[in-house]
A and B are shown apart, each in its own frame.
Chain A
Amino acid sequence: MSDMGFMSARLRRGDMTPGEKLWQMSWSLIFWICCIFAFGFAMLYSAANGSFQPWAAPQLARFVVGLGVMAVLAVVDVRLLLRYAYAFYGIVFVLLVVVDLKGFVGGGAQRWVDLGFFQLQPSELMKPAIVLALARYFHGVNMEEIGSPTALLVPILMVIAPVILIIVQPDLGTALLIIMGSGIVLFMAGVRIWKFLAVGGLGLAAIPIAWPMLHDYQKNRIYTLLDPDRDPLGTGYHITQSKIALGSGGLFGKGFMAGTQSHLNFLPERQTDFIFTMLAEELGMIGGLILLGLYVILLIYGYAIAFRCRHQFGRLVAIGITTGFFLYFFINIAMVMGMIPVVGVTLPFISYGGTSLLTLMLCVGLLMNIHVHRDVHMGVRGGFKDF
């Protein structure tokens, strides 16, 4: 008993050794994430017509690196995260500005900075950064303060500024993801429902103004959603072929590596955005449901971690990250099934792509960090607080 009491006190104070923290990680969550990745690994192998190159093997290497990143992040003191949340946000924001300026100078759209060994997409990093920054902001604000409009000004600016930079890139999909993810963090932080309705109303009112500012391809994607047969060989082609692939897969699928639509190249981007289509063509609705089930397990873990956490910062980070996962897979799957416009959103842990996978593993790391530091008591500024 005393041992346990001693342990819980240490947990509250957060002064565990790194080894203890590793032991505290949710190994079952890691197992489930490995399951999802294994699914993706198999699909990348199939996408290359039964070869580990060029996708499956590099992706595995990144996943292993990603697991390392996750472990490192899990043992970092949560109070450091809180303390440096704004700094991290600021760095990513600067990187976004740099990318945009390079785009203007280079005369073309650019979304990444070349770090020599790695091409970094700041807009990807902005997703965890904004979650951390918002969580940091609301960690110090009590219920009464949230009710005042002035208290909302700062977080709204924190969201709007990077979103504008990302729209300019132009990357509407990521911008919308950040808006939605941030909105949910605000919602969970306790912002009044009517304020969301007001912003939503403003957003709808802005559509007629924003519409002429959209690029042609973006408009086409929305037209295509409304009527996929409008131009079946043009902009509607991808979504039509994707639906054919899904539908022809049926309940049980055409068999692993036997998807005709995927392997005969009717399906575009089968290793990235449309990988779910290939999965559902080859493994059928059953395969699709299994993957959805794994994602649901991931969501449940996320919620559980949020509930179990005893500090506001951790709860908001956990919910923000879990929501990010949800938005990712929901938007991607809804897109390939023709329910929403084509946006460049990948399927988490499955789609091929380095930045995306590493960002995801970073997010898992944050989630894990919250899990490990669930009982730590934190002051407003991240200091040790005992009572």
Chain B
Amino acid sequence: MTITRDSDWTKMFTRRAAVLGGVQATMIATLVGRMYYLQVVQSDRYKMLADDNRINIQLLPPPRGRILDRFGQPLALNKQQFRVLVVPEQALRVGDTLDTLARLIDLSEHERDRIKKEVGRKRGFVPITIKENLSWHEMSRVQVNAPDLPGIMIDEGLTRFYPHGQDVAHLLGYVSSVDEADLTGDPLLQLPGFRIGKDGVEKVYDLQLRGKGGTSQVEVNAYGRAIRELERQEGEAGADVILTIDERIQGFAAQRLGEESASVAVMDVHTGDLLALVSNPSFDANAFSRGLTSAEWKDLSTNDHKPLINKVLSGQYSPGSTFKTVVALAALEHGVISPEQTVHCSGSYNLGSYVKHCHKVHGSVSMVRAISLSCDVYFYEVARRLGVDKIAPMANRFGLGAISGIGLPNEKPGLIPTEAWKKAARGERWAPGDNLNVGIGQGDVLATPIQLAVQAARLANGGIAVKPRLVRPAVQGNAPITDDARPEFESLNIPLAHMEIVRQGMYDVVNGPPGATTAMAAKLKLTEPDMKGWTISGKTGTAAVRGMTAADREAQKRDPSSVPWHLRDNALFIAFAPSHAPRYSLAVVVDHALGGGAAFAAPIAKDIMELVLRLDPSRKPRAEDQIASGDAPAQSEVR
């Protein structure tokens, strides 16, 4: 009985054990199946995910290329700096971390708001710059307190520095953080605190200066701590850009202009090299790179001398009497007057019922005398005979009415009017009286200072269509600066005889007619002992400003200082030197100067030209020049 029960039970037990074993075998099989699915079927996907987990690719920003002057003096370079960043996902609470940080370094409410906003916009692992240009002291305070500052890190970086910030601000532009609109897909642009050129040379040559970013593959653990570097691909440092500018001339010109609202352009008449391109007043480019305070910005943007505008490229002025050189050449080309033929100046000129005045009674004047005395009546007559459509092509040949093509942003083309232009732009017929205005560079004629320098250069070099350039051709790499061959330019096809007449007139403007000594000649005489016999040739211009009433004009004659500043005449001077073998041209434009081109602009031009001639490398260098152009760059410079 017991035995039967036992064997019944044994049977049941065996059966059920078989079921249990079967179930367990099936379950183990599912484990194997799952293992196969994860480790064989999906293995590649998980391998990728594992690498995503552990490998962090970091971009290495390349050092930005320097901007050098023609002798290798740095105009823009990189300085080492410390900055503090926060990685939001590592900071437990960004607000708390910032509070702690604010006890260690100066952090304004405004800056904190900006950081919090940025934290909201970017992904948690993207570091956000809190503050740049930390002093050594601040940096060490943050470092020491690092355990209390989760997510905070100190970064050693390079910042843009302009050793001559005031002198070259307009020319170089500045660098600033990347805006949404600047993103081109270059991953460098997404780096925190990365700067790109926003104006001037920094903007135009940004790609060359920027270089190529390197990458570093870092293995990180689950907490984001770097364990080791797996692979490093070095980037390419940005290439230097070598300008044609001579910093000494640029700096001197900026200083010589003082408080005036004025521009200077200095150019090599054969190569087109721009030795100086100054717009005054200026601002500190370094302030733009670090970011302006709102007070600074307000100051700059409301100043009536307009420091933010690069007047040398975008200031459009009536060229005034400097334009007479071009009118004279047009007259000779079209034969409307011979050089010897005279025009009688009685102090005024009648065209129908229309009366125009000369600034003096000159009597009978030939062309050379008309240029040197700047007789308006002579050029009224010549312009009447020519008509604007014969003047305009000549002006265009001298580079007026079109941008110079040096490539900087915001350059203005000026304006050389024609009959067709007036019809198109204003819907009016060209009036005979308009010709008279064009004849003396007034009316609708507009030119920029750089165009005036080009015009002077083309007069000086005997009618070669020299084009200005700002950058030396060898901008790639760090090749030594070579004395590159003189570039070839087209001829303007103006007979040399014609050029000689105009140049004689310009010589006389400065040095007086043969035998006579004018007050101007005494003022503009080159005083350097070893420049004896060297002279400057030039042409003054005093251009009325639009909006001036007849009453204002009367008042100006009696007492120029009684006229409001913004209505006073502009003073212009274009020049080249040395007169006998011209090498350099320049243009000076002073806005609303007291006194005209001769009294105000010409002395500035002379001082600058004297320096240019003294620094001319074709002359035997003297000891002090060698010091000034010494090749040792500043110690603080970092490449």
Residues of A bordering B, CB below 8 Å? 142-143, 184, 187-188, 190, 241, 243-251, 260-261, 264-266, 280, 284-285, 288-289, 292, 295-296, 299, 303, 306-307, 312, 315, 319, 323, 326, 330, 333-334, 337, 339
Across the interface, B35 reaches (CB within 8 A) one of A248, A264, A285, A299, namely A285
Complex contact B17–A292 (CB within 8 A): no
Q: Nearest Cβ in chain B — how far from A51, in angstroms?
A: 17
Instruction: Pick the contact of B39: A246, A266, A312 (CB < 8 A).
Output: A246
B26 → chain A, closest Cβ, in Å? Answer: 11
What are 26 A-to-B residue pairs whose CB atoms are below 8 Å? A142-B5, A143-B5, A188-B17, A243-B46, A246-B35, A247-B39, A247-B42, A247-B47, A248-B46, A250-B43, A250-B47, A261-B53, A264-B53, A264-B219, A264-B221, A264-B222, A265-B223, A266-B53, A280-B35, A285-B36, A285-B40, A289-B32, A292-B32, A307-B14, A330-B24, A330-B28
B54 touching A184, Cβ below 8 Å: no
Q: From residue 25 to 78 of chain B, which have CB atoms closer than 8 A to chain A?
A: 27-28, 30-32, 34-36, 38-40, 42-43, 45-47, 49-51, 53-54
Query: B9 — which chain A residues lie within 8 A by C-beta?
Result: 142-143, 190, 312
Cβ of B20 and Cβ of A184 under 8 Å apart?
yes
User: Which residue of B is nearest A237, CB measured?
Assistant: B222
Q: Which residues of B contact A292 (CB under 8 A)?
A: 28, 31-32
B104 at the interface (CB under 8 A from A): no
Q: Are B50 and A244 closer than 8 Å at their CB atoms?
A: yes
CA distance A289 to B29 in the complex (A): 11
Whether A306 touches B17, Cβ cut-off 8 Å, given contacts A285-B36, A299-B24, A339-B30, is yes
Whether A248 touches B43, Cβ cut-off 8 Å, given contacts A261-B50, A265-B222, A339-B34, is yes
Question: A247 near B20 (CB under 8 angstroms)?
Answer: no
What residues on A are CB-neighbors of B5 within 8 Å?
Answer: 142-143
Which chain B residues border A312 with CB–CB below 8 Å?
A: 9
Report how far A337 CA is from B53 CA in the complex, Å.
19
Besides the known contacts A188-B20, A261-B54, 18 further A-B residue pairs in the complex with CB atoms under 8 A apart = A143-B12, A243-B46, A244-B53, A247-B49, A248-B46, A248-B50, A250-B43, A251-B40, A266-B53, A266-B221, A285-B35, A296-B28, A299-B21, A303-B17, A315-B13, A326-B24, A333-B31, A334-B31
- The residue of chain B having its C-beta at the shortest distance from the C-beta of A315 within the complex is B13
- If the complex has contacts A247-B46, A248-B46, are A319 and B20 also in contact, measured as CB distance less than 8 A? yes
The 10 A-B residue pairs with the shortest CB-CB distance in the complex, in nearest-first order: A247-B46, A248-B50, A264-B221, A265-B222, A285-B39, A250-B43, A248-B46, A248-B47, A266-B222, A247-B38
> Across the interface, do A251 and B221 meet the contact criterion of CB distance under 8 Å?
no
Tell me if A143 and B13 are in contact (CB < 8 A): no
Q: Which of B369-418 contact A (CB under 8 A)?
A: none
Give Cα A315–Cα B16 distance, bound, in whole angstroms. Answer: 12
> Does B500 count as interface, using CB distance less than 8 angstroms?
no
Chain B contacts of A266 at CB under 8 A?
Answer: 50, 53-54, 221-222
- Which single residue of chain A is at the shortest CB-CB distance from B55? A260
Q: Residues 211-251 of chain B: 1 if any A CB is under 8 Å from the residue's CB, otherwise 0?
A: 00000000111110001000000000000000000000000
**Distance between Cα atoms of A245 and B46 in the complex (Å):** 7
Chain B residues positioned under 8 Å from A249 (CB to CB): 39, 43
List the B residue with the shortest CB-CB distance to A337.
B34
Closest to A385 in B: B2
B4 shortest CB reach to chain A, Å: 10
Judge whether B296 is part of the interface by a CB distance below 8 angstroms: no
The dominant DSSP class at the A interface is: helix
* Chain A residues with CB below 8 A from B40, complex form: 250-251, 285
* Contact yes or no, A280 B39, CB < 8 A: yes
The smallest beta-carbon distance between A162 and chain B, in angstroms, is 23
With a cutoff of 8 Å between Cβ atoms, the chain B residues found around residue A251 in the complex are 39-40, 43
Across the interface, which residues of A come within 8 angstroms of B43, CB to CB? 247-251
> A330 contacts B31, CB within 8 Å?
yes
- Given the known A-B contacts A250-B40, A292-B28, A337-B34, are A245 and B13 also in contact in the complex, defined by CB atoms under 8 Å? no
> B106 within 8 Å of A by Cβ?
no
Complex Cα distance A3/B387, Å?
Answer: 145
- Closest chain A residue to B50 by CB distance? A248
**B8 lies within 8 A of chain A by Cβ:** yes
Docked complex Cα distance between A334 and B32 (Å): 10
A241 to chain B: which residues have CB within 8 Å? 53
Report the interface size for chain B: residues with CB under 8 A from the other chain.
38
User: Which chain B residue has the least Cβ–Cβ distance from A254?
Assistant: B50
A266 to B17, CA, bound (A): 41
- For the complex, what is the distance from the CA of A28 to the CA of B24, rounded to whole Å? 23
Establish whether residues A250 and B39, one from each chain, have CB atoms under 8 Å apart when the complex forms.
yes
Q: Which residues of B contact A264 (CB under 8 A)?
A: 53-54, 219-222, 227
Select the residue from B8, B9, B36, B45 with max chain A CB neighbours within 10 A.
B9
Which residues of A are found within 8 Å of B47, using beta-carbon distances? 247-248, 250
Which residues from A are CB-within-8-Å of B46? 243-248
Q: Nearest CB to that of B49 among chain A residues?
A: A244
Evaluate contact between B31 and A190: CB separation under 8 angstroms.
Answer: no
| Contact yes or no, B220 A243, CB < 8 A | no
Closest chain A residue to B18 by CB distance?
A: A303
By a CB distance below 8 angstroms, the chain A residues around B27 are: 330
Using Cβ atoms and an 8 Å threshold, which residues of chain B touch A315?
13
A244 to B187: give the CA distance in the assembly, Å.
Answer: 28
State A283–B537 Cα separation when bound (angstroms).
90
A265-B50 Cα distance, complex, nearest whole Å: 12
Which residues on the B side are within 8 Å of A260 (C-beta)?
A: 50, 53-54, 219
Q: How far is the CB of A336 from chain B (nearest CB, A)?
A: 10
Give complex CA distance A315, B40 in Å.
40
Chain A residue numbers with a CB within 8 Å of B32 are: 289, 292
* A contact residues around B13 at 8 Å (CB): 188, 190, 315
Q: Which residues does chain B contribute within 8 Å of A303, judged by CB atoms?
A: 17, 21
Contacts of A333 in B (CB 8 A): 31
**Contact across chains for B35 and A337 when beta carbons are under 8 A apart:** yes
A337 to B41, alpha carbons, bound, how many Å? 14
**What A residues does B39 contact at CB under 8 A?**
246-247, 249-251, 280, 284-285, 288
* Residue among A246, A295, A303 facing the most chain B CB atoms (10 A cut-off): A246
Taken residue by residue from 74 to 86, chain B's Cβ proximity to chain A (1 for < 8 Å, 0 otherwise) reads as: 0000000000000
Shortest CB-to-CB span from A317 to chain B, Å, is 13
Complex CA gap A288/B46 in Å reads 17
Closest to A295 in B: B28
Nearest A residue to B8 via CB reads A143
CA of A232 to CA of B534, assembled, Å? 82
Structural contact, B35 and A188, CB atoms closer than 8 A: no
CA A289 – CA B8 in complex, angstroms?
A: 38
Chain A nearest CB from B466 CB (Å) reads 65
Q: Which residues of B contact A319 (CB under 8 A)?
A: 17, 20
Interface centre among B16, B39, B49, B222, by most chain A C-beta atoms within 10 angstroms, is B39
B3 to A: closest C-beta gap in Å? 9
Q: In whole Å, how far is A200's beta carbon from the nearest beta carbon of chain B?
A: 14
* Whole-angstrom CA separation of A334 from B45 in the bound complex: 20
Q: How far is the CA of A184 from the CA of B27 in the complex (A)?
A: 15
Asked if B30 and A289 make an inter-chain contact with CB atoms under 8 angstroms apart, the answer reads: no
Q: Is the CB of A243 within 8 A of B20?
A: no
Q: Which residue of B lies closest to A268 (CB)?
A: B222
A248 to B46, CA, bound (A): 5
Distance, CA A246 to CA B43, complexed state (A): 8
Which residue of B has the minimal Cβ distance to A263?
B221
Using Cβ atoms and an 8 Å threshold, which residues of chain B touch A247? 38-39, 42-43, 45-47, 49-50
The residues of B that contact A184 with a CB separation of less than 8 Å are: 20
In the complex, how many angstroms separate the beta carbon of A266 from the nearest chain B beta carbon? 5
- Residue pair A190, B12 in contact (C-beta under 8 Å): yes
Q: Is the CB of A248 within 8 A of B20?
A: no
Chain B nearest CB, measured from A275 CB (Å): 15
B328 vs chain A, min Cβ distance (A): 81
Min C-beta distance of A244 to chain B, whole Å: 5
Chain B residues with CB under 8 A of A280 = 35, 39
Residue in B14, B31, B49 whose CB lies within 8 Å of A337:
B31
| A187 and B35 contacting across the interface, CB-CB below 8 Å | no
B222: chain A residues at CB < 8 Å are 264-266
